[in-house]
Amino acid sequence: MTQHTALSETLHQWIDLFMRNSAKHWIQSSRRSGLSLAQVGALFRISKKCGGVSEIGEELGVTSAAASQLLDRLFQQGYILRQEDPRDRRAKQITLTEKGQQVLSDSVNSRQEWLDELANLMTPEEQEQVLAALKILIDRTRQLESGQQMQ
């Protein structure tokens, strides 16, 4: 097995573990909030200023009608506000309320707690090694995203 293949397989193993644990904590946080995963996903999209109903529906992979119903429920439960767009009165601006922001904060904190626990299991030397490797991964990922050639 080449070093490249070993690295690729190890990255796949890490991604599998990371995604599984991240999803587990996201689902648990969603359940605690009483919201569905789609509702929490919509809150995340709204927090990123995703746009209107159709854009949120597209991001979630649902029809505009389904997205509208989902947003209606979030509005009724006090997680979002809908206001007229001052630039286009036909469009609505959708923003999070404090309650909606708290759900997202709780979700992020739940997933970050797992990462903190993982980091605490490492010796200072292991933490330094992982930190250096992650910095390289971040740099190379940004290169791929920007279309730059590897050096």
CA pair distance 14, 33, nearest whole angstrom:
28
User: What pLDDT is stored for residue 38 in this prediction?
Assistant: 86
Low-confidence residues of the chain, pLDDT below 50? none
Task: Determine if the pTM surpasses 0.85.
Answer: no
pLDDT given at position 58: 85
Q: For 86-103, write each residue's pLDDT tens digit.
A: 777 777 788 899 999 999
Q: Domain segments of the chain: what residues?
A: 3-120
Q: Into which CATH architecture does domain 3-120 fall? A: Orthogonal Bundle (1.10)
SS3 30: helix
Please report the pLDDT score of residue 150 as a whole number: 53
pLDDT digits (tens, 9 = 90+) for 16-32: 999 999 888 888 888 88
